[in-house]
Amino acid sequence: MKQHTRNIRNFWLLFTGPAIWWSLVLLVPYLIMLMISFYTRKFPFHVPDFQFGNYVKLIEDPQYYLVLFRSIKIAFLVGVTAFLISYPLAYCLARKISSDRWRLLLYVATIIPLWVSYLLRAYTWKTILGSEGILNSFLMWTGVIQEPSTFFLYNQFAMVITMAYIFTPFMVMPVYASLEKIPSSLIEASKDLGANRVSTFLKITLPLSMPGVLAGFTFTFCLSAGDFISPTLVGGPYSNMVANVVATQFGIAMNWPLGSALGIVLLFIVLAVITLSDRLERAGRINLA
């Protein structure tokens, strides 16, 4: 009993500070945002209320639901692009490189860009794709094109490339982890049974690596669905994403209730995707032991 009381005392000694901090700066703010999403906008700011008008507006006004659809579409395309780029790299790291030292080195090399300034990595695509940019000047210099093309920058293509570039390491990590877990005996068995390399890959390796792909897709989808930096830098007039609209509503539009409602919708989209991928992963889990 005495041990028990001391444990409780130790627990609160340790935990009181963090508990206060977490509720004050994390839980309460999220709840306040939820609360404001039911408020009514009234010049110059907003007044407390409880009504669903802000959410109704998001569904009814094409300006808002189109942005939601666009964000989902772009985030999906980023996930697919990141998958296409990452899979061969992850596959090579896990299956083709025999030296542990090199594998670790290349793996670290793959994930280091994650922490190299996000902003700069988005910005550098602006310098590459711009009409006076590196790609254009290269193509003109080599004589492929005569006039600088404005096709590369300020559109959805530029957004997808830039975000796929930024978030690719998030795909490589889980795909690599799942590929590495596949026992080589399974691959050998497949070969012994007469399957060629392509069908071994399609029937054994690829399905068994799907949990990693799913996790990677979840990361890249959620991260790009909520991004407003790349869209601002490389997206054009028709590239507004959810987070851009949230930023505008909390900024110059001064419509916090609408911005909060949109933020809550974004929050639920992200949590839904995470939950869904969790379920899928669990349902499809195969015991390899």
Partner 1 sequence: MAIGIAAASALGFLYGPIITLMIFSFNDNPITKLPLTGWTLEWYYKALTNPDLLAALWNSVIVAAAAVVICLAIGIPTAFALDRFDFRGKTIFRRLVILPITLPGIITGVSILAFFSMMGVRLSLWTVIVGHGTALTAIVVTNVFARLQRFDRRIEEASADIGARPWQTFIFITLPNIRSAVIGSSLIAFTVSFDEIPVTYFLTGRDNTLPMYIWSVVRRGITPEINAIGTIIVVFSMVLIFVSVLMIYDGRQDTPTGRRN
Closest approach, Cβ 227 to partner 1, in A, equals 7
Closest approach, Cβ 62 to partner 1, in A, equals 22
Closest approach, Cβ 127 to partner 1, in A, equals 4
Q: Closer to partner 1 at the Cβ: 79 or 263?
A: 263
Check the CA dihedral 115-116-120-123 and report its sign.
negative
Closest approach, Cβ 91 to partner 1, in A, equals 6
Distance from C-alpha of 259 to C-alpha of 148, rounded to nearest angstrom: 38
Q: What angle do CA 227, 232, 238 make, to 5 degrees?
A: 100
Q: Can you spell out the DSSP letters for 219-274?
A: HHHHHHHT--HHHHHH--TT---HHHHHHHHHTTT--HHHHHHHHHHHHHHHHHHH
Q: Closer to partner 1 at the Cβ: 50 or 115?
A: 115
Closest approach, Cβ 265 to partner 1, in A, equals 10
Q: Closer to partner 1 at the Cβ: 195 or 247?
A: 247
Closest approach, Cβ 230 to partner 1, in A, equals 11
Place of tokens 């300006």: 63
Q: What is the DSSP letter of 48?
A: -
Q: Closer to partner 1 at the Cβ: 122 or 208?
A: 122
Q: Closer to partner 1 at the Cβ: 129 or 208?
A: 129
Distance from C-alpha of 131 to C-alpha of 149, rounded to nearest angstrom: 6
Q: Closer to partner 1 at the Cβ: 152 or 256?
A: 256
Contacts of 49 (CB under 8 A, 6+ apart): 38, 39, 40
Counted residue by residue, the chain has a size of 289
254: left (phi over 0), alpha (psi -120 to 50) or beta: left
Q: Closer to partner 1 at the Cβ: 109 or 202?
A: 109
Distance from C-alpha of 289 to C-alpha of 277, rounded to nearest angstrom: 23
Distance from C-alpha of 170 to C-alpha of 227, rounded to nearest angstrom: 15
Closest approach, Cβ 121 to partner 1, in A, equals 7
